[in-house]
Amino acid sequence: MTLPDFLVIGVPKAGTTALHAALVHHPELYLSAVKEPKYFLSDGPPPARGGPGDAQTYQEHVWRRADYEALFAPAPPGTRTGEATPFYLYDLDAQARIARTIPDAKLIVVLRNPVDRAHSNWYHLWAAGLESERDFVTACEAEPARKAAGWAHFWHYLGQGRYGEQLRHLFTLFDREQVLLMRYRDLRDTPVEALDRVCAFLGVRTGVLTAVPSSNVTPYVPDTPVNAVLRTALRTGGRFGQHFPVPLRLAARGPLLTVLHRQKGHRPRLMPAERATITPYFTEDIELLEKVTGESYQDWLDLENPPPAHRRR
């Protein structure tokens, strides 16, 4: 049996891809070539349908036990194995599956201001041509209906940011010593120190990793009439769905994205009014998070001094 020794379990759009990219360079660690296997997100096959793009994502799930174990079989003897699927923290059933399957696993959680995380999540899907709502707040308001319709976790902009509830549940399944809790700003502002913390937690040499690479950077996509047509085609399949088979539709996605991402520019900033509208949704959960962790997150409630913008989105 070859199962991972550690998991990066959260959260999306908080530097987990960059952390994965850094850890693969440590000689005493082996991370799966598939960055997000998503194995623990389902018992058996994943759903077949969901929101825009979800069906394709579900096809990427490594859901068979043998296939999952095969991801870690090439690990050199003596290395610690791991993978990074940042939806595991949000999915409470996934937490329980992890506890049943690898109860001694070490878990890494990277938290980001939930409003900034949600905005980055929304823009990621917008830039991918999948999000139809050009207004961030409107997209957040659509979340209950989308969840009821079975849209995948990545569409749950607000729900994914309720870290207090998620960690409270996690700590009923795992000892706190098994969980390393970090902040996105740790990776952003003091990457070497952050990597040393991760390495010390995993029981491997510190001082080996010297940088967190910029990874998973969302491109700039202006809201223009031409891009609106491209985004509609990406989201719905456009006329491809009426005249061509599915494989051709999927093959056309890459070229369409290339055209959509053709322009350079600055991505939209989260506006103060948007922050003021969304922050109250998280106030109670942030209080719970502080009780659960014993740490202060009051800076996330400071509307006058929001965190600085950064390219690792």
Place of tokens 């040393």: 196
Where in the chain are the domains? 6-216+274-300, 219-266
Which has the closest alpha carbon to 188: 116, 264, 123?
Answer: 116
Provide the phi-psi class of 237: left if phi over 0, else alpha when psi is between -120 and 50, else beta. Answer: left
pLDDT tens series, the chain, 313 aa = 689 999 999 999 999 999 999 999 999 999 999 999 999 999 999 998 899 988 888 999 999 999 999 999 999 999 999 999 999 999 999 999 999 999 999 999 999 999 999 999 999 998 888 898 989 999 999 999 999 999 999 999 999 999 999 999 999 999 999 999 999 999 999 999 999 999 999 999 999 999 888 755 666 556 666 556 556 666 665 444 444 444 434 445 666 555 555 556 556 789 999 999 999 999 999 999 999 999 999 999 988 677 665 544 3
Q: Which residues pair with 29 in a beta bridge?
A: 80
Q: For 6-216+274-300, CATH number?
A: 3.40.50.300
pTM, full prediction: 0.85
Which has the closest alpha carbon to 270: 135, 70, 169?
Answer: 135
Q: Can you state the angle between helices 16-23 and 191-202, rounded to 10 degrees?
A: 70
How big is the chain, counted in residues? Answer: 313
